[in-house]
Homo-oligomer: A and B are copies of this chain.
Amino acid sequence: MREIGIGILGFGTVGAGVVEGLIKNGDIMAERLGARPVLRKIADLDITSDRGVEVDKSILTTDAAAVIDDPGIDIIVELIGGCGIALDFVRKALSAGKAVVTANKKLLAEHGTELYELADKNNVDLCFEASVGGGIPIIKSLREALCANRINSIYGILNGTCNYILTKMETEGLAFDTVLKDAQEQGFAEADPGLDIDGFDTAHKAVILSSLACGHPVEMDAVGVEGIRGISSTDIKYALSMGYRIKLIALVRREASELEALVAPMLVPLDNMLASVNGVFNAVMVNSDLDDTTLYYGRGAGRLPTGSAVLGDICDIVRSRADGVACRMPAIPASGKRITLKPSAQIKSKYYLRIDTSEQETFDKCASLVAECGIAVESIEKYTESSCPGPTVVIITGMAEEKEIETAVEKIRALDIVSGDVVKLRVMPV
């Protein structure tokens, strides 16, 4: 049976998952593929620590260049992460005509433009299933299954840490800080959690999805980013009572010839499938012109699920290389003409406004201030919270741009019946 050589750069959690998968299911993969994926080298600065998987020590090296240059290696698997040496190695591998599999969302979000072109120029496959949604086959679905479709919109829950925190805040009524600390202790959140909870990890993934939806690379700074630090369990509770669950949503949407790309906590209607995605799970909902709505759900992280995604890419490339095909498809499927990006402040949505007041009769005043700004009031509720001197008013507005909402919020804040801050959150525009 023909052998296709694999070299792994970076022997961390996902690297160990890939190796474990190859050991466990290598025979079955070979039977399915008609060719055998063979792990020839693993490069890492640390080649002594135990990763919990059995590896022939002779394939371990600290010299990544030796892996890339090995003529017996067809596929380079980049699992180093970040944009330092990883960028350099991926460039070298693509230029050397090696197929590249990467799980590195930051690398693709910040250098995708260069790397997609480099892969196409060198006529090699660049696969990145594991970079978005862990074990969910969203990249394959967008590049292949939906190949006959134009993508209208993508809504994703793409960060397991954030979703775990929001779920726990809801089910246990706990404050953000308490749940974050607990998540850190249990290993669901990093010691430095900013990349996750401030939305940047989700934004990296949104950039990759945006490029797939657009048909050309999208730049990272085009995506508006807001995290979940400001979410309180009070808002989660009120939103729920009005028929919504708060989720950190990556929104990518084509509106005429413009692309909207935004990461922000949003109120998701309870009858939308995304509202049922709880805990560490991820999901991506796609709307496309022929296939209408499809949704993909699974584990967004973890050694074996992410390893499974990397191995899925490896299997695809093994099939192609065994058939003598160096590049099966462009990294980013084309979509005709280029699209411009809309500033996130101009992305319209309904809004949730929570106004803590110091007076009993506040309904009419709040509603009329919103209406004065030309924004419809879709629903309005009054809640009583012991911590607040007056009633809390919650408004779901009609569709509005962010700056229109900002104006309304400023007017409301100026009222002397308002005791605290005014919270504003987007309702997911569907």
Binding site for B on A (CB under 8 A): 17, 21-22, 24-25, 27-29, 31-34, 129, 135-137, 140-141, 144-150, 271, 273, 275-278, 281, 283, 288-299, 302, 304-305, 307-309, 311-312, 314-316, 319-320, 323-325, 328-330, 333-336
A289 engages B147 (CB within 8 Å):
no
Please indicate the chain B residues that have their CB under 8 angstroms from the CB of A34 in the complex.
330
A282 to chain B, nearest CB (A): 10
Chain B: which residue is nearest A276 at the CB level?
A: B276
Please indicate the chain B residues that have their CB under 8 angstroms from the CB of A333 in the complex.
32
A329 engages B298 (CB within 8 Å):
no
A291 engages B276 (CB within 8 Å):
no
In the complex, A27→B293 CA distance in Å?
23
Chain B: which residue is nearest A135 at the CB level?
A: B291
A311 engages B21 (CB within 8 Å):
no
B140 engages A32 (CB within 8 Å):
no
- Once A295-B297, A296-B294, A297-B273 are accepted as A-B contacts, the answer to whether A312 and B29 lie under 8 Å apart by CB is no
Please indicate the chain B residues that have their CB under 8 angstroms from the CB of A324 in the complex.
324
- Once A147-B32, A298-B295 are accepted as A-B contacts, the answer to whether A290 and B273 lie under 8 Å apart by CB is no
Please indicate the chain B residues that have their CB under 8 angstroms from the CB of A276 in the complex.
273, 275-276
Please indicate the chain B residues that have their CB under 8 angstroms from the CB of A283 in the complex.
295
A149 engages B319 (CB within 8 Å):
no
Please indicate the chain B residues that have their CB under 8 angstroms from the CB of A24 in the complex.
289-290
B298 engages A291 (CB within 8 Å):
yes
B147 engages A129 (CB within 8 Å):
no
Please indicate the chain B residues that have their CB under 8 angstroms from the CB of A302 in the complex.
292
Q: List 10 A-B contacts (CB under 8 A).
A: A22-B148, A28-B334, A28-B335, A144-B315, A290-B304, A291-B305, A295-B295, A323-B325, A324-B324, A325-B325
- 4 pairs of A and B residues whose beta carbons are closest in the complex: A137-B145, A148-B311, A294-B298, A290-B308
Copies of this chain, tallied across the complex? 2
Please indicate the chain B residues that have their CB under 8 angstroms from the CB of A17 in the complex.
290
A334 engages B298 (CB within 8 Å):
no
B150 engages A25 (CB within 8 Å):
yes
Indicate which residue in B291, B304, B311, B325 contacts A147 across the interface (CB closer than 8 Å). Answer: B311
Chain B: which residue is nearest A286 at the CB level?
A: B298
In the complex, A276→B273 CA distance in Å?
6
Indicate which residue in B308, B330, B334 contacts A148 across the interface (CB closer than 8 Å). Answer: B308
B135 engages A334 (CB within 8 Å):
no
Indicate which residue in B292, B323, B335 contacts A305 across the interface (CB closer than 8 Å). Answer: B292
- Once A299-B292, A328-B323 are accepted as A-B contacts, the answer to whether A28 and B304 lie under 8 Å apart by CB is no
Please indicate the chain B residues that have their CB under 8 angstroms from the CB of A28 in the complex.
150, 334-336
A152 to chain B, nearest CB (A): 13
In the complex, A107→B149 CA distance in Å?
27
A146 engages B308 (CB within 8 Å):
yes
B319 engages A329 (CB within 8 Å):
yes
Please indicate the chain B residues that have their CB under 8 angstroms from the CB of A136 in the complex.
294
Please indicate the chain B residues that have their CB under 8 angstroms from the CB of A141 in the complex.
137, 140-141
Please indicate the chain B residues that have their CB under 8 angstroms from the CB of A336 in the complex.
27-28, 31
A291 engages B319 (CB within 8 Å):
no
Please indicate the chain B residues that have their CB under 8 angstroms from the CB of A307 in the complex.
290
In the complex, A121→B150 CA distance in Å?
36
- Once A291-B299, A298-B295, A299-B293 are accepted as A-B contacts, the answer to whether A312 and B137 lie under 8 Å apart by CB is no
Q: A283-B295, A292-B298, A320-B323 are in contact. List 19 more A-B contacts (CB 8 A).
A: A21-B148, A24-B290, A25-B290, A29-B147, A32-B334, A135-B294, A136-B294, A137-B144, A140-B140, A145-B309, A145-B312, A273-B273, A273-B276, A275-B276, A276-B276, A290-B305, A293-B297, A296-B296, A319-B329
